[in-house]
Amino acid sequence: MRLVIEMMGGDHGVKATIPAVINFHKDYPDVELFAVGKIEVLQELEGVATLIDARDEVAVDATPLEVLRARESSLLKAINVVLDEKADAIVSAGGTGPFLSAATLKLKLVEGVERAAILAPFPTKIKGKQVAILDIGASNENTAKHLYQFALMGQFYAKAALNVENPRTYLLSNGTEDSKGIPVVVEANKLIREKNVPNFLGNIEAREVMSGDADVVVADGYTGNILLKSIEGTAKTLSGGIKKAFKRNLFSKIGYIFARKGFNEMTETFDYKNTGGAILIGVNNVVVKAHGNSDPRGFYSALVVAYKMAKADIVNEVRKGMQDVEA
């Protein structure tokens, strides 16, 4: 297996990526690694990864055209390594927009797929159980057919990556009845039913997404992004409240000593750094977007996600699945 890592992106740059790559290499010594970035700051990776020099970096808000023109950027060079070396996967913590446009334009969509989606596994109330949500922001607007294809791709993912045999699949809306939602959602509900997508259980409201009932939740990219960021924001606000509650006084601090194990376990469950990163599903490679603020542990998890996705042959699963459906 060959894994390409864009080293420079993310809020912490090589401070996060280098230790993550070193740890990953220890745990998965058989994976061939390619590290792309300013070669002089990557010397620690000598012997761990093939180092590929790239002098530039892409701005997080670069347009697709600017991205494609930035030939000396670590991002574009990394994607070229994927193509040249027939690598299985690529990981970056750089800006979502540039990474996704470069990946879509250069690596191309799987045949039959009209639009790639960003998919992330979220924790649920049920310990150890995750729910795959897509699209959480690759698109701004989607058609009903996109949403139908997201349902299929979400299922291929849940089968391959979450080991769910017959994924319980829902469509995000503002009510559970089939008639609820903006027009594209109503139309998508109808289309997914017409196409007899197995175990499609209709609409789900945002408050039930993490209840543990759903394995796959489909949303248009705009609404999915609002959902993702509301969950993040609320979790952050509440954890802040928890910390404050513990620091209240001497007694609460003593309380913390007794209760911390349980709390840390809960915080772990809801820490997005543990889920590692979102994947861009529907393109001809495993493309993993690590959180922009990934620390070494977060970036390591993203590398593990890429490894697992490549191991599960998710791209081929999507390819075969799309062929079966179209046939």
Positions touching a second copy (CB under 8 A) are 61, 124-125, 137, 140-141, 172, 174, 177, 181-183, 205-211, 222-223, 225-242, 244-246, 248-249, 251-252, 254-263, 265-266, 269-270
Please provide residue 176's backbone torsions phi and psi, each rounded to the nearest 5 degrees: -85, -20
Residue number, 119 or 303, with CB nearest to a second copy: 119
Q: Please, which residue, 66 or 313, has the CB nearer to a second copy?
A: 66
Strand ranges of the sheet holding 277-281, from the earlier edge strand across to the other edge: 50-53, 32-37, 2-6, 89-92, 286-290, 277-281, 117-123, 130-134, 216-218, 169-172, 200-204
**Number of H helices and number of E strands within the chain?**
11, 11
d(CA 53, CA 314) in angstroms, rounded, equals 29
Nearer to a second copy, 71 or 243 (CB): 243
Least distance to a second copy, CB of residue 63, Å = 11
Q: How far is the CB of 128 from a second copy (least distance, A)?
A: 14
Report, in Å, the least distance between residue 323 CB and a second copy. Answer: 33
Residue 157 CB, nearest approach to a second copy (Å): 21
Strand 169-172 to strand 216-218: parallel, antiparallel, or no bridges (unpaired)? parallel
The minimum distance between CB 294 and a second copy, in angstroms, equals 16
Closest CA to 124 of 35, 236, 5, 213: 213
What are the start-end ranges of the E strands in the chain?
Answer: 2-6, 32-37, 50-53, 89-92, 117-123, 130-134, 169-172, 200-204, 216-218, 277-281, 286-290
Closest to a second copy by CB, 121 or 137:
137
Beta carbon nearer to a second copy, 71 or 125? 125
Longest Cα–Cα distance of the chain, Å, equals 67
- Judged by beta carbon, residue 199 or residue 239, the one nearer a second copy is 239
Shortest separation between residue 178's beta carbon and a second copy, angstroms? 13
CA distance 147 to 160: 20
